[in-house]
Structure 1
Amino acid sequence: MVDRLIVETGTGILKWGSQSTPCAIGKGGAKPDTDKREGDGATPLGTYPLRWVYYRPDRVAPPQTTLPMRGISRQDGWCDDADHPAYNSAVRLPFDASAETLWREDGLYDFIVVLGHNDAPARAGLGSAIFLHCCKYDDTGAMKPTLGCVAVPRETLVTILRGCTPQTVIEIRE
């Protein structure tokens, strides 16, 4: 079992147990949780629970994990409007405020692990949609930065999820 995932933002490495993998973080670098702001592109430093897993059922099989999970549909979104009562939570599309679409064609969200950042309760403007998800590569084969999430290769994420439980946390540190 995996008790803790450790993201070392300075080296771009995610560790679990005796294993590790390169990872991508936000294009805005990493910031203390208290300094995180909506739209800054930064990955928040801190320790967060893994809330649940989404997967795209038309592309991938459900991952083997004891985390709560469900398949997404074209109507799944995530509210990123800091002025809306549903800020930083799952919503159904179409939605009456700004919301990110979870059903993506680029494969980034084939698997999404929702991290417990700014959600108990959500505070307006302090960051939304902080996930652990599949990475994307640039033309040189390097991982592209995210908008504040942590991203790893899809196959590696499936491997990591096998050991995760509802007690697993992710520690994002410098």
Structure 2
Amino acid sequence: MRLVVAPDGRARFGSWEMRCAIGRGGVVADKHEGDGATPAGIVHPVAVLYRSGRVIPPATALPLTPIRPGDGWCDAPGDPAYNGPVRHPYRAGAEHLWRADHLYDLVVVTDHNRDPAIPGAGSAVFLHLARPGYAPTEGCIAFARADLRRLVSRLTPETGIEVLPG
């Protein structure tokens, strides 16, 4: 089964439809670091991260890892760890995964621009929790807590996450 994400902020997984937020830059075919856009195409989930103490570890077929203080994700295109996990303090640009808000309490890491990562082609394209009112993301796809938790329980490494072009 495939998770299909439309540019209008709707997603479908089989017969189940839900609301989501996409990047403030819309959906693009050619993703670039910092453009705020969600990349069109098909990616796959590779792991689930969760914030212990805020989220009960979810049931999932994907590798499951708790987020710890100091965990980060490198977004510096010239760094060897680009688009991968790092520990803070980190010498190059890296997003903090341990956040005061709740956006990263539950995260699905995708294979967008991984293995190998192409410098500048976008990093940290995750599925994560939505801001109030489904405000746009920096390029990720965001869902309500209940919807993301339900998705996490159904995703496998073979699940295609298809973002339709704008």
- TM band (smaller chain): over 0.9
After superposition, give the CA deviation of every residue in 1:123-150 in whole Å (9 maximum; x if it has no partner): 001100100000001xxxx210000000
SS of equivalent residue, structure 2 residue 157: strand
Q: How many residues align?
A: 165
Q: Which residue, out of 119, 131, 134, partners 1:136? A: 131
- Structure 1 residue 31 and structure 2 residue 28: aligned? yes
Q: In structure 1, what is the Cα distance between the partners aligned to 2:75 and 2:37? A: 15
Partner of 1:171 in structure 2?
A: 162
Where structure 1 has 5 or more consecutive residues not aligned to the other structure, the ranges are none
SS of equivalent residue, structure 1 residue 166: coil
Partner of 1:5 in structure 2?
A: 3
Partner of 2:55 in structure 1?
A: 60
Q: Which residue, out of 99, 117, 121, partners 1:122? A: 117
Q: In structure 2, what is the Cα distance between the partners aligned to 1:7 and 1:71? A: 26
After superposition, give the CA deviation of every residue in 1:69-125 in whole Å (9 maximum; x if it has no partner): 110101110000011011000111111111000001110000000111011210001
Residue type at the aligned position of 2:6? E
SS of equivalent residue, structure 1 residue 103: coil
Residue type at the aligned position of 1:126? A
1:22-171 correspondence to structure 2 within 5 Å: 22-32=19-29, 35-137=30-132, 142-171=133-162
Structure with the higher fraction of residues in strand conformation: 1
Flag as ranges the 4+ runs of structure 1 deviating above 6 A. none
SS of equivalent residue, structure 2 residue 148: helix
Scaled by the length of structure 1, the TM-score of the pair is 0.92
Q: In structure 1, what is the Cα distance between the partners aligned to 2:11 and 2:89? A: 35
SS of equivalent residue, structure 2 residue 116: coil
Shift of 1:162: 1.3
Q: In structure 2, what is the Cα distance between the partners aligned to 1:96 and 1:58? A: 28
